[in-house]
A = this chain, B = another copy of it.
Amino acid sequence: MATKGTEHAPLTPAVLHILLVLSTGERHGYGIMKQVEVDSQGKTKMGPGTLYGSIGRMMEAGLIRESDRRVDSQMDDERRVYYEITAVGQAALEAELRRYRRVVAVAEGRIAYGG
């Protein structure tokens, strides 16, 4: 489904969720995984395969990058690798959210929807 306007759209649910988490600040992989569960009210679970696979592709695409910053060196785990969203990632996130809204708007003009 070729989508015009943005070169990254449409994003996969996994990529969108990761961008959504990182829009609040840098996080490490495992933290992203847990936050996705919170964001989806426990309805969606991202396994390590999807997580690190997506992260790799997103870094290659320039949507995210590794971050130097450590939130708290005292409370920090040495193993952690932090990621942050890039300007490209922000743009892709906003474009995808516009697409989501458009879809919901179209649906609302059509079906009775108790949501």
Contacts and interface: CB of A to CB of B under 8 A. Distances in A.
A10 B43 CA distance: 11
B100 A103 contact: yes
Please classify how large the interface on chain A is, using the bins under 10, 10 to 19, 20 to 34, 35 or more.
35 or more
Contact of A1 (B14, B23, B101): B14
B50 A107 contact: no
B13 A1 contact: yes
A44 B3 contact: yes
A32 interface: no
Contact of A24 (B39, B40, B42, B110): B110
Given A111-B23, A111-B94, A44 B1 contact: yes
A97 B24 CA distance: 24
Interface of A: 1-5, 10, 13-14, 16-17, 20, 23-24, 39-47, 50, 90, 93-94, 97-104, 106-107, 110-111, 113, 115
Given A1-B50, A17-B103, A90-B111, 12 more contacts: A1-B14, A1-B47, A2-B44, A4-B43, A23-B111, A40-B102, A94-B111, A94-B115, A97-B104, A100-B100, A100-B103, A104-B104
